[in-house]
Amino acid sequence: MFKVLVLRELYALSDAQVEYQIADRLSFQRFLGIDLTQDAPDYTAIWRFRERFRQRIGMVRPTGRRSTTGRTSATRTTSTPTSNTASSATTR
């Protein structure tokens, strides 16, 4: 099940999406060591394992891709003045 979490984080998938991708992709099945006759883990089983794993190792970071401070990271953009002469287009 740990490998399922690796795939989930690597490809930024939800629990339901990773369940579907495991059932759909042979490469995921090979990575997980799942035979073609076996069913993919249910998304609720993935969720339960992920929550138990986080509690066990003491991770308190929520799933919303937030920083460790609890705030979502925002990128600030600064506008710089540009010269109009460099971007002027010629007309025909």
Assess contact for 42 and 19: CB atoms under 8 A: yes
Give dist(CA 22, CA 17) in Å, integer: 9
- Please list the pLDDT of the chain residue by residue as tens digits (92 residues): 999 999 999 999 999 999 999 999 999 999 999 988 888 899 999 999 999 999 888 765 555 555 455 554 444 445 555 555 554 555 55
Residue 5 backbone dihedrals phi, psi, to 5 degrees: -65, -35
Three-state SS string across the chain, please? Answer: CHHHHHHHHHCCCCHHHHHHHHHHCHHHHHHHCCCCCCCCCCHHHHHHHHHHHHHHHCCCCCCCCCCCCCCCCCCCCCCCCCCCCCCCCCCC
Q: What pLDDT is stored for residue 63 in this prediction?
A: 57
Domain boundaries, given as residue ranges, for the chain = 2-56
pLDDT at 36: 86
Kindly report whether the global pTM for this prediction surpasses the value 0.85. Answer: no
Looking at residue 71, what is its pLDDT?
52
* pLDDT on residue 59: 60
